[in-house]
Structure 1
Amino acid sequence: MTNASSQRQPEANWQAQAHVGAYGNSYGDRPSGWAAWIAFAGVLLVLIGLLSVMEGVTALVNDDFYVVRVDALLVAAGYTVWGWVHLVLGVAGILTGAGMMRGNRVAQAVAVGYAALSAVVHLAFLPAYPVWSVLVIAFDVLVIWAVIVHGQEVASTR
């Protein structure tokens, strides 16, 4: 009489049978639905960039738009300086977001640095435009999270 365990065939690799990929998704090389966060982060960067450009142009054209005086800001530079900072930051955000939407790996790395810099700039600009600054900081944190947590899934398919 033979034992049931001795009659079993050797099991094949369980990962191959389950089609489990390197990152635990069930479709092998296909990224999970979470990889859509990278595309969302790219779109969000373009949006943040466009709005930062508008904020920069506003600061350059109309100093009286902001409620607080320049000396009430964390960095007491003139609104003209802040306008140029936001303008340059906005253009960089648009280019970075466009690169991310095209799937550029370098743009993903730049996006983390850009979002961190954008958050610091908007933190310093908080007294002048508080609601927008808090919103941009939240968007920046979301971009950083999306790229760090899910950026590798997109890279593994290329």
Structure 2
Amino acid sequence: MATTSTTHHRTSAKEAAAGGLTIFAAVMLFISGILGFCRGLMAALEDDVFLTTRDYVFQFDLTTWGWIHMLIGAIAVAVSLGLFVAMTWARVCGIALASLLIIANFLSIPYYPFWSMTLIALNAFIIWALCVVRRDTLV
């Protein structure tokens, strides 16, 4: 009887940890999506906000770049809502979106270096939180 209680306690702890990491990822993806959308809106509406550098390998029109960030940010918010209800498709999409956000922020380092690096780290934590949870520990 002690073994069953111990096993049940371990299973409950694993489920709680999995749920906590999924909620963490959902909140962080929601925040990242909102921030990405706002950043894209700033780029689309007023290009003067961003630092322009010469001789950068990746040359972008900031208005187009802003629309891309707004689209990815809006999708990230929608996927985070799926994570709040523990949908498996949302975990897969969350990992894919966080990866896209890392790439998008890497390409924007010359325009906003500190902010881009901060969002890269935030999205790396999202990927970690979504990947560390095993499928069998989800409800």
Shift of 1:61: 0.8
1:16-31 mapped onto 2 (5 Å cutoff): 16=4, 18-20=6-8, 26-27=10-11, 31=15
Normalised by the length of structure 2, the TM-score is: 0.88
Query: Does residue 104 of structure 1 match 2:92?
Result: no
Query: Does residue 56 of structure 1 match 2:75?
Result: no
Cα distance in 2, alignment partners of residues 134 and 153 from structure 1: 33
Cα distance in 1, alignment partners of residues 83 and 63 from structure 2: 30
Contact 1:37 1:150 in 2 (8 A): yes
Gaps of 5+ in 2: none
1:15-94 mapped onto 2 (5 Å cutoff): 16=4, 18-20=6-8, 26-27=10-11, 31-69=15-53, 72-94=55-77
Normalised by the length of structure 1, the TM-score is: 0.78
Matched residue pairs, number? 139
Contact 2:18 2:137 in 1 (8 A): no
Relative CO higher for 1 or 2, CA cutoff 8 Å, sep ≥ 6? 2
Q: Percent identity?
A: 22
Note the alpha carbon deviations across 1:113-151, whole angstroms, 9 max, x for none: 111111011001111011111111101110111111025
Contact 1:59 1:83 in 2 (8 A): yes
Q: Higher helix share goes to which structure? A: 2
Q: 2:103 aligns with which of 120, 124, 144?
A: 120
SS across alignment from 2:110: coil
Note the alpha carbon deviations across 1:19-55, whole angstroms, 9 max, x for none: 25xxxx6145960335301101101111111111111
Gaps of 5+ in 1: 1-11
Cα distance in 2, alignment partners of residues 73 and 152 from structure 1: 42
Amino acid at match of 1:119: I
Cα distance in 1, alignment partners of residues 46 and 38 from structure 2: 12
Shift of 1:72: 4.8
Q: Measured at CA, do residues 42 and 53 of structure 1 come closer, stay the same or move farther in structure 2, by a change above 3 Å?
A: same
1:145-156 mapped onto 2 (5 Å cutoff): 145-152=128-135, 154-155=137-138
Cα distance in 2, alignment partners of residues 73 and 83 from structure 1: 18
Q: Measured at CA, do residues 122 and 143 of structure 1 come closer, stay the same or move farther in structure 2, by a change above 3 Å?
A: same
